[in-house]
Structure 1
Amino acid sequence: MQRFHVKGKLAPRYIGPFKVLGRRGEVSYQLELPAELSEFHDVFHVSQLRKCLQVPDKPEVFKNIDHRSIGLNQDLTYREKPLRILEEAVRVTRRRKIKFFKVQWSNHSEEEATWEREDYLRSEFPYLFSS
């Protein structure tokens, strides 16, 4: 499970873009959130926001996450699933060899793939090794 406000290797950075309704205090802004996010507070500190320029020619300028596609729970958590294995490597210690796989996760690009241990992936996600 991942949370939006927890910093971690798989935590999404931004969702949106959303329209700014106005400034609320020295360093906070109120956003116009869609109806699906109405249970969340709509005022954010400036450090949690990112400037978004509307560029119709290049929609890939900002790789934002669509909040409708990730299945948010009431407590701001969502389930990450591995999509595919990109690479494999063996790390050798003094006494043993540990196999690692580079995994692309749902809601993330190939550049954000992480290295995970084989035993963890086989126990939690056995469907990755069925073929």
Structure 2
Amino acid sequence: MLRKCMGDPSLIIPAEDIGIKDSLSYEEIPVQILDRQVRKLKTKEVASVKVLWRNKFVEEATWEAKEDMKKCYPHLFESGEVLN
């Protein structure tokens, strides 16, 4: 059964701001590193960073490998690292 739904207009993102390509894809661009952590496995430690992506909310930030992010987006780490 269908029910009436009231959408939230503040959640609509204009297509011009996203920059959609002809293939209907777009590149996610990291904006900021929100947090850092080191996970300890049995034989090694894995450093991760929590990344805020453009056109996403803070709740949708993802954990990524620190070394991979540092290779692709070194400008995020230029401000000087305090943790690990």
TM range (shorter): 0.7 to 0.9
Shift, 1:52, TM fit: 6.3
The residue number in structure 2 matching 1:75 is 23
The residue number in structure 1 matching 2:39 is 91
Distance, in Å, in 2 between the alignment partners of 1:108 and 1:91 is: 25
Is 1:53 aligned to 2:1, yes or no?
Answer: no
Query: Alpha carbons of 1:74 and 1:52: their partners in 2 closer, same or farther (altered >3 Å)?
Result: farther
Q: CA RMSD in A?
A: 1.8
Shift, 1:59, TM fit: 4.5
The residue number in structure 2 matching 1:128 is 76
Bigger CA radius of gyration: 1
Percent sequence identity over matched residues?
A: 37
The residue number in structure 2 matching 1:17 is none
Amino acid at match of 2:74: P
Give the structure-2-normalised TM-score.
0.81
Structure 1: give runs of 5+ residues left out of the alignment.
1-50
Structure 2: give runs of 5+ residues left out of the alignment.
80-84
Give the structure-1-normalised TM-score.
0.53
The residue number in structure 2 matching 1:30 is none
Q: Residue deviations 1:42-61, cap 9 Å, x none?
A: xxxxxxxxx7637xxx743x
Moved >4 Å (runs of 4+)? none
Matches for 1:94-105 after TM superposition, within 5 Å: 94-105=42-53
Say how many residue pairs are matched: 76
Matches for 1:107-126 after TM superposition, within 5 Å: 107-126=55-74
Matches for 1:2-21 after TM superposition, within 5 Å: none
